[in-house]
Amino acid sequence: MKVTPSFPGDEIAFIEEFESGKNTYVDDGSIRSSTIGRKVYDLKRHIVRIEQKNTPKLPKIGDIIVGYIDMLFGSMISVRILYINDVKSISGFSAISSTRGISLPGGQGGWSRDRGDRRSRITFRVGDIIRGRVVSLLNSNIHITIAEKDFGVVYTLCYNCGGTTVRVNNAVKCVECGTYEERKLTSDYGKDTFSTIHNGKTLNGGK
Ligand SMILES: [Zn+2]
């Protein structure tokens, strides 16, 4: 097999010689590349294809993703994916998660006392670092759940002053200004957890 680079539209073979494989198309007797990648001529099967080197890796169902909230809309959050199964992802994909029906561990605690019987909405904020599990890829959207105890907010900075936060029961507390806010936190919430993910030895291949 021979390997050389190609660009979209490049003529890479004639139909008399090869069949059109992955990432190629036939145009007036020529086989052309439809993408940037390496030309791969399979001389045994007479197929030419283009291999993309940096094809963004789409998460699969069951994968654990870590990212940050880039948008909030209604009872949904959008999470820009940074890591897939602890491996850095440069794909730029966002996942979405419903925040409906998510309860805080420990249940009937005093956190909803000021709202009477009404269920409080759990707060999420843009910039929160989220861990979740991919549950569906319906309609080309990456759907994650953050309901389980290992999922939710891994770390966040104080929304008031940008200070460092620590976990206090089901809430984050700013060590700078004391602001306190109940959140859906992972069981291992904290700066160290995010640092571990961020500096993990599996990430060396990334930028
Ligand atoms: Zn603060």
Which domains, from first to last, does the chain contain? 3-51 (2.40.50.100), 64-103+118-202 (2.40.50.140)
pLDDT at 102 over 90: no
Give 152's strand partners: 131
Q: Which of 5-14, 30-39, 165-174 has the highest mean pLDDT?
A: 165-174
Expressed in angstroms and rounded, the spacing between residue 83 Cα and the centre of ligand 1 is 27
Expressed in angstroms and rounded, the spacing between residue 202 Cα and the centre of ligand 1 is 32
Whole-prediction pTM: 0.67
All residues at 6 or more sequence positions from 195 whose CB lies less than 8 Å from its CB, including other chains: none
pLDDT at 42 over 90: yes
* Mean pLDDT (whole number) for 37-56: 86
pLDDT at 13 over 50: yes
- Tell me if 89 sits within 8 A of 81, measured CB to CB: yes
pLDDT at position 206 is: 38
Ranking 74-83, 148-157, 169-178, 197-206 by mean pLDDT, the lowest is 197-206
* Mean pLDDT (whole number) for 135-153: 92
> Rounded CA gap, 42 and 39, in Å?
10
pLDDT at position 45 is: 93
pLDDT at 78 over 90: yes
Expressed in angstroms and rounded, the spacing between residue 197 Cα and the centre of ligand 1 is 24
Query: Using CA atoms in the order 112, 114, 117, 119, what is the torsion angle rounded to 10 degrees?
Result: -40
Q: Nearest-CA neighbor of 29 among 21, 37, 38, 20?
A: 20
Expressed in angstroms and rounded, the spacing between residue 61 Cα and the centre of ligand 1 is 37
pLDDT at 203 over 90: no
pLDDT at 106 over 70: no
pLDDT at position 201 is: 44
Expressed in angstroms and rounded, the spacing between residue 149 Cα and the centre of ligand 1 is 25
Please report which confidence band the pLDDT of residue 101 belongs to, taking 50, 70 and 90 as the band edges: confident
pLDDT at 118 over 90: no
